[in-house]
Structure formats: structure tokens, C-alpha cells
């Protein structure tokens, strides 16, 4: 039976899958092509991947998180072109560091700075994705983005390997952060594991594996679960105006989710001077 679910599901992505792979799997399970994800994870990475189904794919722009939390493992003594263990090895060393050295450097990185985007990324330069330049062996000036490292905490330490947790602003590349930390330490290394433990209000403790979803052991989240937004029931007369995208008048909050008398979600409206106008039809 074809499932007509509208909602958001939090997936704990396993290693080896692309974000697109997860979208395709969910699409088959729910028998719908209307599936999207919010915030790409590399195949090496695991953890929180926010998936929207059917009408909720329209919510992606409202779900963009200003901050994300990661747990990253770093292995010293090897350098690759991708900045992680999946890439082509460019150099090897016997580099080791002390815990005091590392703590000093990590503390310095609680800051806002201009971070160079990794060459193996989907950022476009002159209409072409950076990884396409890399695969063709073409030189290109890598763009820089302003990022903020809000917190960083050492979780585990060995002289040739360490693990840290960080909370970062949207758009931060953890591979690039690791590269910059290692450059400051004067050693080489790569990201050997990465888990996104939180994206905005979505936490890994509330995430489901693909296996869970296949067995029907999951919960679809609704707008009221993910957005701090008032919910107002309307009459059939107002409903008619809403479903046709008309502006309406009334003493409403700046943003509101309108539902019909049966609780069916209709639209999200926002203030427009003295009126309310549609932001998102559901």
C-alpha cells in the first residue's frame, strides 16, 4: 500500500552511504519521489540526517540550522587529498603531539575565522563544483567562508590519534577545521571518523537507523514538533481563503500555522503590514 505520509524523520546515517543514497532508500520505503534531506553528510560521516517527506519537503528552508555538533576522530601521520582517510595518500610521517600542545591549540580555535573550503566539496567556482576541478587535476583558487567554532572539547587522546567534540556554525567543514588545527600544531593527519550528533534541535538520540525504518519503528515529526510556531484553528470560511493563498486580516502572531477544525495543517502565514500572507502552503 502506498504511504501518504507528510512529515520529518531523523535518520542516523551509517558510514558508506551518501546523503542521496539515504534519500533514495527512504523514497523506496515510502513509495514517494517527494523526499529531501537538510544538510549533506559525507559518505565517511555518520549521524543526524534530517529527511523531509512529501509536502514537508517545502519546509527545508525553515529547517536550516544555525549550528551543528560533531564528534570527530583525527589520525596523525598521513596526509590525503580529501583531508580524510578516504583520499589519495600524499605524504606520511611519524608525527606525534603532546596533550598539552593539543589542548592549547584547540582552545585557540574557539573563534570566528575565514575557513578555506576543501577542494573535495560541492562548492561551485565559476559554475563548476570544486571536486570536478580536483578530479581533472586542474588548479583553482579555493574560496574562504566565515565560520564560527562555538565550542571545542577534547574527548580522547593518544600521541598519534585524538577525538574531539565541537559545536560550529552552519557551513563549517570539519575536515577543514582539522586541517587548520594540524597546521597550527605543525603536523600532518586526516579525519578518520566523523559523527554529526546534533543539527539545530535535532539530536542523534532521537534518530532512527534505516533498519528501524524498514521495520516500521520510527516516528514522523510534524511542524509543531520542529518549529516554535503558534497553531491556530480556522473556520471553513477562512480555510477557503488560506488554501487559495489569499491574504487575510486578523490579530495574529508574526508567524502562525493554520489548521482546519479537524487539525489538518493548511499553511504557514507571516505578517505583511496589517495583513497575513502565505509563507508556505501545505
* Active site (catalytic) residues: 42
* Residue 128: partners with Cβ closer than 8 Å, 6 or more residues away: none
* Beta carbons of 39 and 65 less than 8 angstroms apart: yes
CA separation for the pair 254, 271 (Å, rounded)? 5
d(CA 145, CA 168): 13
What is d(CA 166, CA 114) in angstroms, rounded to the nearest whole number?
17
* 3-state percent helix, strand, coil for the chain, nearest multiple of 5: 25, 40, 35
Write the Ramachandran bin of 165: left for phi over 0, alpha for psi from -120 to 50, otherwise beta.
Answer: beta
Residue with cell 509543531: 224
Amino acid at each position: 500500500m502506498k504511504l501518504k505520509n507528510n512529515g520529518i524523520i531523523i535518520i542516523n546515517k551509517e558510514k558508506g552511504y551518501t546523503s542521496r543514497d539515504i534519500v533514495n532508500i527512504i523514497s523506496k520505503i515510502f513509495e514517494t519521489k517527494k523526499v529531501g534531506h537538510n544538510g549533506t553528510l559525507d559518505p565517511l560521516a555518520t549521524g543526524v540526517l534530517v529527511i523531509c517527506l512529501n509536502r514537508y519537503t517545502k519546509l527545508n528552508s525553515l529547517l536550516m540550522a544555525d549550528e551543528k555538533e560533531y564528534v570527530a576522530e583525527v589520525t596523525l601521520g598521513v596526509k590525503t587529498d580529501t583531508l580524510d582517510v578516504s583520499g589519495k595518500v600524499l605524504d606520511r610521517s611519524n608525527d606525534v603531539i603532546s596533550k598539552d600542545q593539543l589542548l592549547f591549540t584547540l582552545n585557540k580555535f574557539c573563534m570566528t575565522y575565514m575557513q578555506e573550503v576543501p577542494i573535495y566539496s560541492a562548492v561551485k567556482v565559476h559554475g563548476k563544483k570544486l571536486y570536478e576541478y580536483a578530479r581533472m587535476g586542474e588548479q583553482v583558487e579555493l574560496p574562504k567562508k566565515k565560520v564560527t567554532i562555538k565550542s571545542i572539547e577534547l574527548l580522547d587522546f593518544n600521541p598519534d590519534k585524538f577525538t574531539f567534540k565541537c559545536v560550529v556554525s552552519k557551513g563549517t567543514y570539519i575536515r577543514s577545521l582539522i586541517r587548520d588545527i594540524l597546521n597550527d600544531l605543525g603536523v600532518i593527519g586526516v579525519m578518520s571518523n566523523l559523527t554529526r550528533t546534533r543539527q539545530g534541535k535535532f539530536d542523534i538520540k532521537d534518530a532512527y537507523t534505516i533498519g528501524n525504518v524498514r521495520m516500521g519503528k520510527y516516528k514522523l515529526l510534524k511542524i509543531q514538533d520542529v518549529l516554535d510556531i503558534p497553531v491556530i484553528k480556522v473556520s471553513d470560511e477562512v480555510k477557503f481563503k488560506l488554501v487559495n493563498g489569499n491574504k487575510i486580516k486578523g490579530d495574529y502572531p508574526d508567524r502562525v500555522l493554520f489548521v482546519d477544525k479537524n487539525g489538518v495543517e493548511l499553511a504557514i502565514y507571516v505578517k505583511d503590514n496589517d495583513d497575513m500572507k502565505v509563507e508556505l502552503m501545505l
